[in-house]
Amino acid sequence: MTDNLLPSWMLWALLSACFAALTAILAKVGVEGVGSDMATLIRTGVIFLLLIGIVVASGQSLSPSTVSGKSWLFLILSGLATGASWLCYFRALKLGPASQVAPVDKLSVVLVALFGVVFLGEKLSGANWLGVVLIAAGVILLAFK
């Protein structure tokens, strides 16, 4: 897509949202009859193999020495946070309805906005803050029957 129609980051973000929605539905069905931690392990193994294929097919280097120490540190921390998130998410899906679990999980959008302001010095406009409040309100409305 061109920048005139839709910024490339927006396309990727929309695709991410679509795949995340599919993830919730597919995982909810997949976690039936299997422990949530085992389900997370299977999912992670699939992702690992898929990413190796993508990196190799795209000709990117698999050499760890091309990654800076700072990047290693923050990517490892991000990986630990991702793993914790996935374990919690699959446990929540095992215990609750996908239509309520997924919206609560999306409180991460609100937290990213807040963390971006506090830790990264990002600036949000009044309209952005309104969006954050509306997302939080939407999560509350969706999470409770």
CA dist 15 and 27 (Å) reads 18
**pLDDT tens, the chain, 145 aa long:** 455 677 888 888 899 989 988 988 999 999 999 999 999 999 999 999 999 999 999 999 888 888 999 999 999 999 999 999 999 999 999 999 999 999 999 999 999 999 999 999 999 999 999 999 999 999 999 998 7
Residue with tokens 């998130």: 85
Tokens of 76: 């490892």
**Cβ–Cβ < 8 Å for 113, 124:** yes
| Residues in Cβ contact with 115 at an 8 Å cutoff, skipping those fewer than 6 apart | none
pTM attached to this predicted model: 0.80
